[in-house]
Amino acid sequence: MTTKRAIRPQWLIFILLAVGLSAFLMFFSDSGGYTRVDTSAALELIAQDKVDTARVVNNERIELNLKDGVTYSDGARIKDATKVYAFYVDARGPQIVKALDDHPPAKGFTDQIDTQNWFASMLSLVLPMIIVLGLFWFLMGQMQGGGNRVMQFGKSRAKLASKDMPKVTFADVAGADEAVEELHEIKEFLQDPARFLAVGAKIPKGVLLYGAPGTGKTLLARAVAGEAGVPFYSISGSDFVEMFVGVGASRVRDLFEQAKANAPAIVFVDEIDAVGRHRGAGLGGGHDEREQTLNQLLVEMDGFDVKTNVILIAATNRPDILDPALLRPGRFDRQIAVEAPDMIGRHRILQVHSQGKPMAPDVDLLAVARRTPGFTGADLANVLNEAALLTARTNKRAIDNQSLDEAIDRVIAGPQKRTRIMSAKERKITAYHEGGHAIVAAAMNHTDPVTKVTILPRGRALGYTMVMPIDDKYSTTRNEILDQLAYALGGRVAEEMVFHDPTTGAANDIEKATGMARKMVTEFGMSERIGAIKLGQSTGEVFLGRDMGHQRDYSEEVAGAIDAEVAALINAAHQEAFDVLDENREILDELVRQLFEKETLDKDQVARIFEPLTKKPKRAPWTRNVSSRTTRFFSGRFSRSARIAIRRASWPA
């Protein structure tokens, strides 16, 4: 396929001008239609009296006009030339003069001394400069987006929402009721500021929307633009960052000048962490271009008047790295968390995105919402889109439950690999591995129900076991985490029990279990030996310049104790999984047989197989004894007053 790119009019003019100048210079430098020949050929033509007129130029060149009917050809390059010229050196000048004297041309000959053409000389100097400047202009145009933005470095690149743009309203936003309520108040202030000013209320100068990617932060800003009915300027944080120093600050000034001139107005900055990062946290010398841009943004936000009616809305998924001066009251007065929706929110989001899509009568979107805990709005939109694509691929008329089920699996684990050929041994290992996960998850007392078990490869997994909660959860108990540890190791234990030769397929399970156990010890305070102490820095993303200089805040002895506690938790979970599988070995074999037959088992099929399942007895209530273990562990490591405080902490109130 041939791709055609349109040439901008200004560049077409520039190209034509350059070609014209080049042709003009060629005209002035041209030999006037003369054909160059060898010096010997020119002397021979003179000696044969074939020359009509001759002209000697600057004692270096001779031009010959041949007589009527006389032409010159050399048999290769030159054919039937009537006007020729040749160059000669100074030593050959007398020979040329003698030849003309001996054989004078019919109409005579003349001498000519050329004078420098001032116009051609000027063009020879100016034309390269024009080409260089044109190239520079072109490069700057490319960096600035071309068109009329060339050389306008300091101008704002914000887009102004127009009436022709498709409008998004608050009715199109679902699953974020609190955020919509907060932004609805801003809309009301912009439409009727007198009602708020009458009671002395000040509208927030800035609103920060933060949350995980895909939760709908940009969608909320679009809804505000559609509802407000005021000028809405949108720009990305990266648009302020430029290779030229001071450009970002200039663009910030220009943006806010435009907003103030059209007040009341809303300015939306997406991904503000591109310019709002913590100052002094980089590797450079300090006052770099990004910090200048941030400083100007701080000044503009703090310089608002109460009656200016310009509100800044920003969105980011990393509020932890923003500069504290940006988050203080008076700049971003209101910080709104946009989180993943709950089950009711997911149901409403599915209803919004299902509009315009033909749904089968038996499709229950509430059931789909129940099966998708933790999904963001973008994930749910992707589920319905994948279901629509699968429906079109199979030439169906409406989206059914089968397409939705496959779409959920595709979003979670990726597309199914139907062409991958597995040996019977690998299929058996995979079946027992996934069966081990399912049996342990069903036998524990604090795990979620098993909804699907399959041995069909999908994504990077050879098979998977899906465990979905019935309701949304916002906290996790110690027993639930211990059950998750056992469930994660169930596949590895099944391989050890059946084949006595574990595979590398449990690497990801071991990684997750180890990380969860370490969090129990260092973050959640669920260790008998260590206690409720936060050890180490946060496990979030490291922000260079702020976090790299932090040292580990515990000793080598405590580090050894942490490792011992993590190992003890993993070993205990391993033993629990082994006990469950050993007691329910027949059910495990039956589950594997069914997996070999059907490859995929849904919730109802799994429940029928697990009817005779023997559950693990509940654990004893856990209450950490501070006075016994902790005092013995930390004795000798604390002062006498600290040890007394630890003992007193264990006394009854």
Helices 556-583, 478-488: inter-axial angle, 10-degree rounding: 70
Rounded to whole angstroms, how far apart are CA atoms 6 and 612?
Answer: 72
Q: 258, 161 in Cβ contact below 8 A?
A: no
Rounded to whole angstroms, how far apart are CA atoms 362 and 54?
Answer: 102
Q: Report strand pairing: 206-210 vs 334-337.
A: parallel
- Of 219, 189, 221, 223, the C-alpha closest to 204 is 189
Rounded to whole angstroms, how far apart are CA atoms 634 and 647?
Answer: 12
Amino acid identity for residue 627 in this structure: S
Burial code of 632-641, b = ≥16 C-beta within 10 A, e = fewer? ebbeeeeeee
For residue 312, the cross-strand partners are 206, 267
Rounded to whole angstroms, how far apart are CA atoms 491 and 434?
Answer: 6
Rounded to whole angstroms, how far apart are CA atoms 72 and 61?
Answer: 18
Rounded to whole angstroms, how far apart are CA atoms 309 and 329?
Answer: 17
- Of 372, 489, 481, 482, the C-alpha closest to 439 is 489
Tell me how crowded residue 482 is: count the other CB atoms within 10 A of its CB: 22
Give burial (CB, 10 Å; 0-12/13-18/19+) of 37.
buried
φ, ψ of residue 173 to 5 degrees: the values are: -105, 125
Q: 518, 485 in Cβ contact below 8 A?
A: no
Look at residue 170 and give its three-state secondary structure: helix
Q: 87, 41 in Cβ contact below 8 A?
A: no
Rounded to whole angstroms, how far apart are CA atoms 195 and 189?
Answer: 8
Q: 188, 288 in Cβ contact below 8 A?
A: no
434 catalytically annotated: yes
Rounded to whole angstroms, how far apart are CA atoms 568 and 565?
Answer: 5
Q: How many residues does the structure list for the chain? A: 653
Q: 109, 63 in Cβ contact below 8 A?
A: no
**CA end-to-end span of the chain, whole Å?**
81
- Out of 63, 300, 434, 496, the active site residue is 434
**Spatial CB neighbours of 398, under 8 Å, sequence gap ≥ 6:** 358, 359, 360, 391
The DSSP code sequence of 533-547 is ---S---S---TTTS
For residue 109, the cross-strand partners are 54
- For the annotated catalytic residues, the residue numbers are 434
